[in-house]
A and B are shown apart, each in its own frame.
Chain A
């Protein structure tokens, strides 16, 4: 039996006495694009934060490619091959776009904390950063400080930083939040492109994005997964319709 790329076993998280995540079980096989949907406050972002090590878990286990990563620090989890983006743009705003990406590839190329390499001669790092720059369509903005980019461009850079380290499991937290229709279409194409051959777990509100992109969908309500399956099945599931989709399936 091949290990799931990402496996959550009876995951629980409480803030004070309030239990936000109430026993989540999920196994995402390698190469799957898996979307998590659910109403506001259902605990989707919290789930991401405990998987990626931003928050400690209260109980349960997270396994990445069979390795237990529960309670590890974010940088340890990242080094094991899991990378995430943020709902609120989280970039290095004073560095140029190119430098943002170059920083993001350094660890995976093994340069660690080196102060004996000259960055300008590290062609592998530069080439990889340039390649990602082209993929996310920011070649023209290469030398601009990341803080000066437009919102949609910053979102693209956010995805670029996330995939730069070549992690096998990618978590995207609402990659199209706050975007216009055309920007969303671009973002979907980008996500589809950059996650080829990787395992993707993403939180998303836009149903057209979710149904167009995901191989499988899990619906989270009140900190529990109430349904999990391929898009068609989820669309038809009465429990999901009642709890979440409701009118939205028609409008989309």
Chain B
């Protein structure tokens, strides 16, 4: 499935144990190069302050989601309290920022996320020692409890957590970056580039981690903890060490968010945040390294961009999540890779028409749903502003029965069409997958 990794592995096997010639992996360099270019040029394409703030939040969530997937996807540890580490990292970072401000600490603001990371790792050592005693469901439950514990602490110790209002800071207090006048992290675009640098370094580090003994043994522990014990590994240790590393990166994400927003509140350590990163990671898919990156981008679009357009964004996010889990449990990354595989085997032509039907009917279905939801929201929340709403550029009157009849008929028509189209699609899709898997089984050395 992971074409890149497989090609590389196949190249290794051909070269044998003695001859170790391995060509430079062009695919990997291309992917990382394109990612770097995207990071650099994004704010030049999207120049509004709003877009740049959106991009900054994406960068932060990418680090956070990748760190979360070190637990969930790579080690099989489902945590409901990962925001504890990013949130505490953020608190330590903002306190450090304020101490830089009053002169009691000399530390460049650009390296502030490192303080967040170290704080995260420190709490990973202490709290993680407790949570990683158990695996599976007990682990999940303990993290949930610990998350609540830390959140309730935030109200008990207002001096550190800032109570209801949180702790605010000022990111421009430090010396200019590299001594260049004007590089004070004042403008959003400077913060964006700071986040980009951190994001890129963290991505590379977390990717490199997947190719280390600990990273691979974590996969083994995920697959079969008992057997891992019988090849010499203390699985409890493995989980603990992985959690500490993961908490370190989560803390860096927290430190960056402290710089980005210049405020840290109890919400940063809350279950809402922990749930958010779980959602983002799952949307992107846990089985592949780049899954959480995709998930972070999509999740930020929902949480930041869509919330500008509609009050119902959480409803849409929820529906999207449910549909995704139902139809492609592997998330967006596996959806993409499965389709790429079909493309590679030159069988995509057969899917073109079924895809067309599925997408068209799904759009109709979605349109009907959105209309109903928006009209309902309008009637219950904003009716005082008048009966008319704008949807996709068209005016609709929520007090006319025709609008409702129209919406319901589009919805029902779309649903019926989708049912038919989906069945057809699934049949063709299944056929193609069986063909591909048979081919792979017959040609174990190819690819």
Contacts and interface: CB of A to CB of B under 8 A. Distances in A.
A114 B230 contact: no
A148 B154 CA distance: 49
A130 B230 contact: no
B232 A93 contact: no
A113 B238 contact: yes
Given A114-B212, A126-B17, A75 B224 contact: no
Given A74-B229, A113-B237, A161-B227, A95 B17 contact: no
Interface residues of B, number: 40
Which of B13, B226, B227, B447: most chain A Cβ within 10 A?
A: B227
A120 B20 CA distance: 11
Contacts of B223: 92-95
B219 A95 contact: yes
Interface in A74-88: 74-75, 78-79, 83-84, 86
A205 interface: no
Contact of A115 (B10, B16, B232, B245): B245
A92 B74 CA distance: 13
Contact of A106 (B213, B222, B235): B213
Contacts of A118: 208, 211-212
B314 to A, nearest CB: 33
A127 interface: yes
A103 B224 contact: no
A230 to B, nearest CB: 30
Contact of A119 (B16, B216, B222, B232): B216
Contacts of A96: 9
Given A115-B245, A143-B9, 5 more contacts: A95-B219, A107-B231, A117-B213, A131-B17, A143-B10
A228 B431 CA distance: 58
A115 B9 CA distance: 21
B231 A104 contact: yes
A74 B216 CA distance: 20
A102 interface: yes
A144 B6 CA distance: 10
B444 A103 contact: no
17 contacts: A75-B230, A92-B220, A92-B224, A93-B224, A98-B13, A102-B216, A103-B220, A103-B231, A106-B217, A113-B217, A113-B237, A114-B213, A115-B209, A118-B211, A127-B17, A142-B13, A148-B441
B220 A140 contact: no
Contact of A91 (B209, B214, B215, B224): B224
B252 to A, nearest CB: 16
Q: Which of B9, B217, B232 has the most A CB atoms < 10 Å from its CB?
A: B232
B209 A74 contact: no
B233 interface: yes
Nearest to A143: B9
Nearest to A167: B232
A92 B75 CA distance: 12
A141 B441 CA distance: 9
Contact of B444 (A90, A114, A140): A140
Interface in A32-90: 52, 54, 73-75, 78-79, 83-84, 86, 90
Contacts of B213: 106, 111-115, 117, 119, 122
Nearest to B13: A142
Nearest to A134: B17
Interface string A159-182: 001001100000000000000000
A100 B231 CA distance: 10
A154 to B, nearest CB: 12
A184 interface: no
Given A114-B214, A115-B214, A143-B9, A92 B219 contact: yes
A15 interface: no
A57 B216 CA distance: 32
A108 B209 CA distance: 21
Contacts of A123: 20
A135 B180 CA distance: 63
Residue of B16, B208, B223 most packed against chain A (CB within 10 A): B223
Nearest to A78: B232
Contact of B212 (A104, A116, A143): A116
B232 A79 contact: yes
A252 B209 CA distance: 54
B439 to A, nearest CB: 13
Interface in B213-264: 213-217, 219-220, 222-224, 226-235, 237-238, 241, 245
A136 to B, nearest CB: 15
A141 B445 CA distance: 7
Contacts of A143: 6, 9-10, 13, 444, 447
Contacts of A117: 212-213
A78 B217 CA distance: 16
A127 B19 CA distance: 11
A10 interface: no
Contacts of A103: 216-217, 219-220, 228, 231
Nearest to B227: A90
A206 interface: no
Contacts of B10: 143
A98 B9 contact: yes
A99 interface: yes
Contact of B230 (A78, A111, A131): A78
A92 B214 CA distance: 15
A95 B220 contact: yes
B32 to A, nearest CB: 16
